[in-house]
Amino acid sequence: MSISRQEPSTVTRAGFTLIEFVFAMGITSIFAIALVSISVTTGRSFAEMVNYVELDQNNRTALDNLSREIRQVNFLSSFDATHLVFSDKDGQPLTYEYSPTDGSLTRTKNGATTLLLIGCDSMKFDLYQRNPQTNSYDLIAVTNATNCKALTITWSCSRSLLGVRANSESAQVAKIVLRNKQ
């Protein structure tokens, strides 16, 4: 009976060397940073798109309501840089008021106030006669309410996203003719 003894010819290693570990951590960190960066950018872009769609929808709704109601009024009774006061078809006053301090446009009728727009950076009212200027499609501007037969409302709105003004709606312009004006 013979017992054989084998000598280990090579030493077996278990685990990573320090250089292999640092290299693996570096590559993993680069992939993790790239993944987080793509996720943040994608999330912010998605939030901006949702914000823009909501802003556009609010502007369209306000424009539709303004156009529909102003076309049906009897006449413009008074105005200034931030107010329009109409005599509505039922004889009651209809008021649109822009507040530059809080950036809102409100509608008031029969004591009930409705918020039409928020986040308005600017709003401007221009009054016109119905007839155009000579050799032009531009209407003749007026300065008193009794001669007003058409008006232009221009506004620009924006919203902030995460504390930064992220997107703004392009300026909305509506030229509205008072249909019932004699």
Instruction: Domain count for the chain, please give it.
Output: 1
What per-residue confidence (pLDDT) applies to 131?
78
**Is residue 14 a part of any domain in this protein?**
no
List the 75-79 sheet strands across, edge first: 75-79, 83-87, 93-99, 104-109, 112-117
**Is residue 3 a part of any domain in this protein?**
no
What per-residue confidence (pLDDT) applies to 96?
94
**Is residue 108 a part of any domain in this protein?**
yes
DSSP category for residue 14: -
**Is residue 182 a part of any domain in this protein?**
no
What per-residue confidence (pLDDT) applies to 6?
62
What per-residue confidence (pLDDT) applies to 181?
54
**Is residue 147 a part of any domain in this protein?**
yes
**Is residue 27 a part of any domain in this protein?**
yes
What DSSP letter does each residue of 143-158 carry, written as one string? SSGGG-SEEEEEEEEE
- Each of the 182 residues of the chain gets a pLDDT tens digit; together they read 666 666 655 555 667 788 988 999 999 999 999 999 999 989 888 888 888 888 888 888 888 988 999 888 988 898 888 899 998 888 899 999 999 999 899 999 998 999 998 888 888 988 988 777 788 778 888 888 888 888 988 888 887 777 767 666 667 788 888 887 55
H helices of 72-137, in order, are: none
User: Containing domain of residue 148, as a range?
Assistant: 19-177
**Is residue 157 a part of any domain in this protein?**
yes
By the 8 A CB rule, do 109 and 141 touch? no
**Is residue 4 a part of any domain in this protein?**
no
Rounded to 10 degrees, the C-alpha dihedral 52/54/58/60 comes to 70
Number of H helices, E strands in the chain: 1, 10
Q: What is the pTM of this model?
A: 0.71
What per-residue confidence (pLDDT) applies to 14?
64
What per-residue confidence (pLDDT) applies to 166?
62
Q: Give just the sign of the alpha carbon dihedral 117, 123, 129, 132.
A: negative
